[in-house]
């Protein structure tokens, strides 16, 4: 079946540094990828929608200069958390919509801890 | 605004049947999905309803009534491993998923 892989699954970084999370569709092409954030015991919160080859569309309240999203190819989207702060610590999940069909597949998620 | 409502917590005993309801108010509707999430993991897809009626997949069933903007997830023969959070999500007119806040299912032996 279709697989979406996120890397790294867990990352710890120091305050002020930047960290990049990759989201790859392994056996299908994804024209659209979604990035979510989940706080403990809360629902997923959509951060942004990225379409291959164009700028991401950010949800209200999400700082686009802080959460840089790049969707350079049909199989890869990256989320870079810039100048990370402890409050950025969270679970980040990507999902991808296949070019063919409308099924959305989720990545495994990435735990970010900023110390 | 767009919203989905589901109970925050449901408790049941092992072997029983439990129903988790979801009502929605969204701009456009392209199907109701259910996801299961164990603590610390990503959500996993359970079911999808685009048309009215009941969809059955093993011990899990999902129901949709578009006229009532309502659906539910039915879990039968509950097992301890079913303890998790269950999210309903609606695909809106932009094909984005609008999520409910999740229902924590607690199963007692």
Contacting residues for A59 by C-beta, under 8 A, at least 6 apart: A45, A46, A47, A48
**Residue B90, number of CB atoms within 10 A of its CB:** 25
For residue B44, what pLDDT band results from cuts at 50, 70 and 90? confident
Residues of A with CB under 8 A from a CB of B: 32, 34, 41-46, 49, 93, 95, 97, 102, 104-109
Mean pLDDT of chain A: 88
Check whether A1 has a pLDDT greater than 60: no
Model confidence over A21-59: pLDDT tens digits?
Answer: 999 999 888 888 999 998 776 667 889 989 888 889 998
Give residue A103's pLDDT: 67
The minimal CB distance from A104 to the residues B41, B97, B102 is found for B97
Shortest alpha-carbon distance between residue A92 and chain B (Å): 9
Give the Å distances, CA to CA, from B67 to A38, B26, B71: 31, 13, 10
Name the minimum distance, in Å, from the CA of B102 to any CA of chain A.
Answer: 6
B100/A34 CB distance under 8 A: no
CA distance A75 to chain B (A): 19
% of chain B with per-residue pLDDT over 90: 60
| Per-residue pLDDT at A2 | 59
Taking the C-alpha atoms of residue A82 and residue A18, their distance in angstroms, rounded to an integer, is 4
Nearest chain A residue (CA) to B37 = A43
Is residue A25 a contact partner of residue A109, using CB atoms and an 8 Å limit? no
What's residue B79's pLDDT?
A: 96
Chain B residues with beta carbon closer than 8 angstroms to that of A106: 35, 42-45
Show the tokens assigned to B87.
């999210």
Token pair of A57, please? 């569309």
């Amino acid at each position: 079946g279709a697989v979406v892989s996120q890397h790294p699954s867990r990352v710890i970084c120091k305050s002020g540094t930047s960290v990049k999370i990759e989201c790859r569709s392994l056996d299908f092409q994804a024209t659209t990828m979604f990035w979510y954030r989940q706080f403990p015991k809360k629902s997923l919160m959509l951060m942004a929608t990225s379409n291959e080859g164009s700028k991401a569309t950010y949800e209200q309240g999400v700082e686009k200069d802080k959460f840089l999203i790049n969707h350079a190819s049909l199989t890869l989207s990256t989320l870079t958390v810039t100048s990370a702060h402890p409050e950025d610590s969270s679970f980040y999940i990507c999902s991808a919509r296949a070019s063919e069909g409308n099924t959305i597949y989720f990545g495994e998620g990435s735990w970010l801890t900023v110390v | 605004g767009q919203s989905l409502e589901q109970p925050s917590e449901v408790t049941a005993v092992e072997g029983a049947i439990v129903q988790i309801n979801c009502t929605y108010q969204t701009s456009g509707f392209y199907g109701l999905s259910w996801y299961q999430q164990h603590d610390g993991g990503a959500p996993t897809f359970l079911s999808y309803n685009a048309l009215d009626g009941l969809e059955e997949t093993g011990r899990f069933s999902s129901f949709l009534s578009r006229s009532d903007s309502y659906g539910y997830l039915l879990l039968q023969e509950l097992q301890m491993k079913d303890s998790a959070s269950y999210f309903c999500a609606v695909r809106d007119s932009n094909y984005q998923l609008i999520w409910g806040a999740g229902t924590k299912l607690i199963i007692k032996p």
